[in-house]
Amino acid sequence: MTDELDIYRRQGMGGSMGLGVAPAVVVVDFVRGFADPEHFGGGNIGPAIARTAELLALARSRGWPVAHTRVVYADDGSDAGAFALKATGLAKLTETSPLSQILPEVAPVPGELVLRKRQASAFFGTELAGWLAFRRVDTLLVAGCTTSGCVRATVVDSCSHNFRTVVVTDCVGDRALGPHEANLFDMGQKYADLMSLEELRTRNLASAVS
């Protein structure tokens, strides 16, 4: 790994974006289906959900904007696209399906945005970018699942929208640890800063200004 890191460093990878002054949190797809290994869960998703409940408590105490996402398809699949062809089980995530409901321990409270999406990224085909810009957010803290899928897609798009982007490492999970660890490494080299929840607590991130 040391030799590999040297390659990245020589090529100018792995720099720090740093934290801005106006953070927000996006929680990607922590719904019942992704908490259940019989459907889309497994790996370290369960512990990540528990830690995200703590992240949300911190965000709410500071008044940071919070957005949540759900994957939601029409009952007849009429709005499904290529993503649902590759991952056919996603078609089960309809508006009223128990599998598509946000878990109680990380459920939104009044004033938090809930986005419905049909693709991997929380930004694609949603109002997330505009919602963040209106609130003058400059730093996006990302939690959710899966690390190698919808979290990664959200992180790449967040960077593309020029938000300082932080993956809260113990608040993201995947159904397998190999993809989780590989994608954390890659995102940390190219698209985001990596920070645990405890590291985040120690940073001097301001409370929201009303």
Active site residues: 150
Q: How far apart are CA 122 and CA 142, in angstroms?
A: 10
DSSP 3-state of 195: strand
Amino acid at 202: T
One DSSP character per residue, 119-181 reads SSSSSTTSSHHHHHHHTT--EEEEEEE-IIIIIHHHHHHHHHTT-EEEEEEEEEE-SSHHHHH
Query: Per this entry, what is the length of the chain?
Result: 210
Choose among 194, 149, 200, 191: nearest CA to 43.
Answer: 149
Burial string for 135-145 (b: 16+ CB within 10 Å, else e) reads: eebbbbbbbbb
